[in-house]
Amino acid sequence: MRPLINLPHSIIALLFIIPRLAAADPDDDPRCSPYTWENSEPGDPSPTAWPARPEQTRTFKIGRPEKAGDINCRFGEDTYETVNSGTCAELANMYHITLEKFMMLNPILDADCGNIQPYTEYCVAGFIEPLRAYDGLCGPPHNGATCIGVDHGQCCNSETWTCGETSEDCARGTCYEGVCWGHKVFATDGKCGPKHGNRQCAGKWGECCSFKGECGSDKEHCGVGTCLFGACEEPLRPKIRRPECTIWPGVLTEDGINVMEDRLACMADCHSAWEERSKKDRANTLGDRAVCILRCPDVDPDNHLGRPF
């Protein structure tokens, strides 16, 4: 009989375990289940599936409107799930516009904001589309069409009522509206002053506005007593006659100031009696007489006397 081979005990143990593992069902043994993460720590949020947000509804059209008078909206803002009659004011305050302008930009809303809808985009920045002079004709003769935003030029010439971009088209007193000061600031008809919107005068009309409310550049418009504002002539100012300077008797101190009588002072520069001077330019004032500011370049340090007359 052959002797048994001496095998290590670990190998012999594996020979008994392997058949059992092959026959075992992993579903029946919890020790063989795959590792899964469980939210067992207190205070830790568990993954939440958020409900899908409804698609936003836009109440306006982005881009230039098809016709004048429509709303040209440049920016919008969304509402959320909860809305009420105060949501209109909230959106207006958020974008620093008045409630009146918000309602103007959103004409589909009722006056009390009662029909505002959730998950809807409303206009919060824009303006009413003006009549643009796409044909190059502008101003009052052409229904007030503006030159802004057209290819013919940005200035409406009040002499030709056409759009242009030359210095003459955009000049003060000629440009009615557009990229210029316009007729509300500078008169384009020669009428100025309080009775005509406080318009100023410039360009071909002259630089002076008379009390009659007319622009011009002559004496009748710019002269004293006839010119209301503008390049008015200034009235002549009367010359102030300074009193003749008198040398008062006195004595000089070391700083050259006449403070005592009985002796001659030095030469003096004359100034009006109401003129103030610094400490080094103190004056000897006697009643209503002239004030003499003493200038003593040759003071004798021994007797402190100035050069006598």
What is the predicted pLDDT for the residue at 175? 97
pLDDT tens digits for 152-190? 999 999 999 999 999 999 999 999 999 999 999 999 999
Say if pTM beats, i.e. exceeds, 0.75. Answer: no
pLDDT tens digits for 28-86? 555 555 555 555 555 555 555 545 556 667 777 766 677 888 889 989 999 998 999 99
Domains assigned to the chain: 57-128 (no CATH), 131-184 (no CATH), 186-237 (3.30.60), 238-309 (no CATH)
- Any idea which residue has 């384009």 for tokens? 188
